[in-house]
Chain A
């Protein structure tokens, strides 16, 4: 499956996300790819919040991954930030299509240990979804253009044009 086909697969991601949220006692959960594209969410009331958390989560993951590489690690398994009322867990994982990132927010009803345990189950469930193994070869010019555009958007963001100026 290519990155551009991921949108067709998003519906299949909802049940595992819902289960992860319920079993781990999460307040919010967001599943994004490394470029910050939202694939599934639970608990968010406003689209604006989703976009903010997605972009910040992708940024945190990118910078921590760079730090891990500097330290000679392939990457960190997960990140955790604990607050007085809310805690954040950022867990990257690999799928046959691309690397995804789960961002989970939880409070005193849950714990880091619980989130870790159910994150492991979530990763296994998502990785086992049959859609990952489907290959969808580009069949015509329109699909080719869509894939190309998706790639450009990933590289440059926005409308696929590189930003000009400083």
Chain B
């Protein structure tokens, strides 16, 4: 299993997570994925990367520095994208149920990303 695969495997152990991906930020293409059946990975990756690029541009425009995290919540689920420096131009994208413990997802992701760096 690749280093990214281990990252995804650990994030996916958090209850409520339906899958996670490492996505190229500029292209919106999947580098590595571990998703439940039925999650439209390619579409989610492309759209979340697009949202993240726009958020990044907005934050840069406001002189707030680099965007690190974007979270989109809906009634039925949650999308979470993080761009830690250790991943370079890659995004960690998590697809989860609406009831997921986001703090736990973020903590687990931060731990594993730190281990990668």
Binding stretch for chain B, among A46-54, A60-68, A110-118, A156-164: A110-118
19 A-B residue contacts at CB 8 Å? A25-B50, A110-B50, A111-B26, A111-B29, A111-B50, A112-B27, A113-B27, A113-B29, A113-B30, A113-B42, A113-B45, A113-B49, A113-B50, A114-B46, A114-B49, A116-B29, A116-B46, A117-B46, A117-B47
Interface Cβ pair total, 8 Å cutoff: 36
Q: What is the predominant secondary structure among interface residues of chain A facing chain B? A: helix
Interface residue tally for chain B (C-beta within 8 Å): 15
Interface residues of B (CB under 8 A from A): 23-24, 26-30, 42-43, 45-47, 49-50, 53
CB atoms of B27 and A111 under 8 A apart: yes
Interface centre among A110, A111, A112, A113 (most CB of B within 10 A): A113
What is the number of residues of chain A that contact chain B, defined by CB distance less than 8 Å?
Answer: 8
Binding site for B on A (CB under 8 A): 25, 110-114, 116-117
Q: Which residues does chain A contribute within 8 Å of B29, judged by CB atoms?
A: 111-113, 116
CA gap between A111 and B42 in the complex, in Å: 12
Most buried by A among B24, B29, B46, B53: B46
